Amino acid sequence: MAPSVHYHCPCLSSSTTPPPPHLPSSFYSFHPLHTLFFCEECDAVRCNRCVSVEVSTYYCPNCLFEVPSASVRAEKNRCARNCFLCPNCRNTLSVVPSDPPDSGDGRLAVPISTVGEPPFFLYCNHCRWDSAEVGITFEKPTGLAAQLQKFEDSAPDSLEFERLKDHFEPFIRASSLSSSTTSHAVAHPSSAAHSHHLHSNSITAAASAALARDIPGVGKYNPLARSTSSRGIGASGRDRSVNKDEMAEYRSRVEIAKASVVGTGGGDADVEFMRHLENVSEVASLDQRWENSWVTSLQTSDLKPLRIPLHSKRSKRCPACTHILIKPEQKAQSVRYKIKLVAANYLPAITVALPHAQQALTEAAKRTLGKSTSAAEDDRIPATGMVAGKTYPFHLALTNPLYDPIQVRLSPQRLNISTAPPKDGPPEKARRPPFVISLPSSPFPIAAFAEAWEYDDDEDMFGVEEGDDFGTRGGAREKDGRSTRSKTVGVLEKRANVTIVGGEVVIGKEAQGNVKFNTLVSYTYRSDDPAPSESNDGDGQSIPQGNKPPEVKTFAFYTVIDLGPIIPREDPKSVPDF
């Protein structure tokens, strides 16, 4: 598994500190950088789990026709034009005319018009399927969705759904009217019954009535049963405990035992079809049947053409301040964004690499020319891993996306190890962390982002200017005698807006699992953009009011760095001594 770096989003916890990385639940709090957003108002990182999503527009992915929101439900979220999918291969179908009648003299008939002659049918250029095989033809080549609507409306599942809506509509309408008549209870908040009814709607009322229905074999709890039994039945001869909102029993349009007779699948018809099956391709796959309808036939020859489902463009808002983070353009043909606040434009991008693993892979690739593949695999696996009881260096490459130089400080989070004593051993052994991370504790600079052609020469690509005191602090520390730790921990390289920092991991002898640790990344930058003047005469010049220093901004975020799994230490007897 390659080393990785993920960024923390605090939406799943009330604390800004991330959970320990060894917990399985911490996986849901960290995300790749390219999937995160950044809110400028809240100055916080947002992920796809915490942002609120709004649909901007609906469109057909085939004809790129923009569909109004009011027509989406009426069209059942499908394209209402001449866009269809093949039921076999999901390719787009084309409208073709019928072949002209044969004249009988063996000559090819010349078409009279370019439109062709009816009937028209849908044809797939990939698998050669056409709708004439299932008996679907059209009288004209336009408005095919309206012509195909009669086939969809006559389907058994569509008729059953309409029957369900007709059955529940009176009850939902009555529940809506009853809730509107009790709206005056807002002025009397002391009434518990009225306040409870205000929070209910037609859907909850229908669910309550369904839950209150009698279940055969189970006694129904009725708190008024004792008073009813003592008083008996009322003078009108009706039981007062009967629920007034009880709906009439629903009877389906077709009995389930007779469903196979009308072609809705199941029963003896499918058993007889499978008994005489000669080719597996005659049976429709699950994807083909579920995509077409709720209940369809097993036979491939009964599959119908599908209207292409609509796609949508969605906007995303910050959950705290409701400011827009992502807003695409309304046109379906455009792939641009009006607003695009992604975290990659605000946070430094961090990548991690293991030098010994890269060197081992390079040497293994050279040895592959003279050895077999199995021998190369045996040499590569232990070389690229991290063995318990050893020390390994690693490199962190930080890329600055801002147009201002930044000062970055890395603070690894200390592992919280359980203090419970082990079964056999002293309690101090339980407090010992499985590995220790060493990173430069002093801040180091990263140059500002700039285009490649903006650099004057190669020296600017690999360092910062000498006169910039904001970016030379790290270089002074590099020359210090305390940072000469064989170039393992500290700033190793600077090029353009990328700074490579080295670190070390000391793995314990009994360590297991992965080397994962949380790191607090805090960076500081100063914004040299002048503040807008209150009085502007249009000449583009503003009078500075005093020597105001540039604004210094600081932001911090957590990351989890995964260096890979730890290989348990081998038995000393099996290791040859050279």
CA atoms within 13 A on the CB side of 558: 21
> What token pair was written down for 385?
């891993």
Complete DSSP assignment for 386-444: EETT-EEEEEEEEE--SSS-EEEEEEEPPP-------SSS-HHHHHS-SEEEE---S-E
pLDDT in tens, 162-191: 888 888 888 888 777 766 665 544 444 444
User: Would you state the pLDDT for residue 58?
Assistant: 95
At residue 431, does pLDDT exceed 70?
Answer: no
φ/ψ of residue 295, rounded to 5? -130, 120
d(CA 327, CA 56): 8
Nearest alpha carbon to residue 62 among 27, 29, 33, 86: 86
Residue 549 identity (one-letter amino acid): P
Task: Determine the Cα–Cα distance for residues 151 and 305; give it in Å rounded to an integer.
Answer: 11
**C-alpha span between 352 and 502 (Å, rounded):** 10
**What is the separation of C-alpha 461 from the centre of its chain, rounded to a whole number of angstroms?**
37
Report the residue count for the chain. Answer: 578
Contact 446, 561 (CB under 8 A): no
- The pLDDT of 455-460, averaged and rounded, is 54
**Segment 204-249, tens digit of pLDDT:** 665 666 666 655 555 555 555 544 444 444 444 555 444 555 677 7
Domains along the chain?
Answer: 1-36+344-367+384-417+431-450+487-529+550-571 (2.60.40.10), 80-98+117-157+265-307 (no CATH)
Q: In terms of DSSP bridges, do strands 514-527 and 406-412 run parallel, antiparallel, or are they unpaired?
A: antiparallel
Single-letter amino acid, residue 248? A
φ, ψ at 228 (rounded to 5°): -70, -40
Rounded-to-10 torsion of CA 398, 404, 410, 413: -100
Pair type for strands 386-387 and 551-567: parallel
CB 109 within 8 A of CB 103: yes
Does the pLDDT value for residue 510 go beyond 70?
A: yes
Checking 8-13 for CB contacts under 8 A at 24+ apart, the result is 8/45, 8/518, 8/557, 8/558, 8/559, 8/560, 9/36, 9/45, 9/46, 9/47, 9/49, 9/50, 10/44, 10/45, 11/46, 11/47, 11/49, 11/50, 11/319, 12/49
Element (H, E) at 517: strand 514-527
Q: CB under 8 Å to 265, separation ≥6 — which residues?
A: 259, 295, 296, 297, 298
Closest CA to 402 of 345, 460, 340: 345
Task: Pick 309 or 146 by higher pLDDT.
Answer: 309
CA 327/CA 55 separation, integer angstroms: 10
Residues 44-77: pLDDT tens digits? Answer: 999 999 999 999 999 999 999 999 988 898 888 8
Cα 250 to the center of its chain, rounded Å: 39
pLDDT, one tens digit per residue, over 129-160 is 888 888 888 888 888 887 777 777 777 777 88
pLDDT band per the 50, 70, 90 thresholds, residue 161: confident
pLDDT at site 574: 46
Q: pTM for the full model?
A: 0.69
CB atoms within 10 A of CB 168: 14
The confidence score (pLDDT) of residue 480 equals 46
Helix axes 355-367, 373-384, angle to 10 degrees: 170
β-pairing, 4-8 with 30-31? antiparallel
Rounded distance, CA 351 to CA 363, Å? 23
Q: What tens digit of pLDDT does each residue of 241-299 get?
A: 445 556 777 877 766 655 555 555 566 777 877 888 888 777 877 777 776 655 667 77
Return the pLDDT at 346. 94
For the chain, give the longest Cα–Cα distance: 106
Distance in angstroms (rounded) separating the CA atoms of residues 156 and 153? 8
- Would you state the pLDDT for residue 116? 65
